Amino acid sequence: MTAARSPLSPLSPAGVPRPGLRERKKTRTREAIRTATYALIREQGYEATTVEQIAGRAEVSPSTVLRYFPAKEDIVLTDAYDPVMAAELAARPAGEPWPVSLRHVLRKALDLGAGEESELTRLRTRLLAEVPAVRSRMLENMSATGRVLARAIADRTGLDPDGLEVRIVSMSLVGGLMEVSRYWAEHDHEESLAELVDRALDALEHGLPALGKGRGHAAPSVAS
C-alpha cells in the first residue's frame, strides 16, 4: 500500500506496548523529514527537491536524512505498514481462508487512510506513476514486502514461506497493489481505491474475466 503511517498507527494490533521515548523521538524525526519532503515537492516538484533542502526544512542535518532514508525515493515509499499488515493477518480467525483475511486487512487499512491522509496518498501515487526513480525504487522494495506477506500467508496455510507457490502468490499480490496505485493515479484518482483493490484481489483469486464477459464472469484461476 502507499499510505505512510507511523508505528503508532491505529491499525496496530491491540496489546502492543507503547514505544519508548527513544523510539518516539525517532518516529517524530522520520515524520518531520517526510512532512518537509512532501511540502517541498508540492512547492517545486520532485526532481527539484534535494536532500539538503529537506534537511533544512526538517531542521536536521543531511546525514540524518540519509541515516533514516538511504535514498530520496525512500522518503515517499518507506513506512511501517508491512509488519502491521502481517500482524493483522496473523490476528484473523484461524479457520478463515487467507483471501478473506487479506481482504479484511486491506479494507481496514484503506478505511483508516481515507481521511486526513487522502491528499497525501494521491501525491504518493502520482509520484509512483510519474517519476521513474520512485517506480524503480518501489520495484526494489517489493521483494521485502513480498517476504513479509509470504510469512503471513505461510502461517495461515501451513505452507513453506519459501515455497514457490507462496512466493508467487505473495509477489503477485504486491505487484498487483503497485499496479492499482499506478492505475488510480493515471486515471486522476476518479475511481474508488477500495473498489480497485477489490478488483485486483478478484483477478488474483479467480483469474481474468472470460472474453466478452463482465467482471462477474471470471475465468478459472491459474492457482485453482
Q: For residue range 181-204, list pLDDT tens digits in order.
A: 899 999 999 998 889 989 998 888
| Residue 82, phi then psi, degrees to nearest 5 | -60, -55
Looking up cell 500467508 gives 153
Q: Which uninterrupted H or E stretch holds 66?
A: helix 62-68
pLDDT, one tens digit per residue, over 129-176 is 999 999 998 888 888 888 888 888 888 788 999 999 999 988 988 888
Integer CA distances (angstroms), 59 to 39, 52, 213, in order: 14, 10, 56
Q: Which domains does the chain have, with CATH numbers?
A: 21-70 (1.10.10.60), 77-206 (1.10.357.10)
In sequence order, the 6+-apart residues with CB closer than 8 A to the CB of 100 are: none
Rounded to whole angstroms, the Cα distance separating 46 from 125 reads 13
Higher pLDDT among residues 8 and 162, named by residue? 162
Cα atoms in the Cβ-side hemisphere of radius 13 Å centred on 122: 12
Q: Is residue 224 predicted with pLDDT exceeding 50?
A: no
Instruction: Answer whether 178's CB lies under 8 Å from 142's CB.
Output: yes
Q: Is residue 4 predicted with pLDDT exceeding 70?
A: no
Q: Is residue 69 predicted with pLDDT exceeding 90?
A: yes
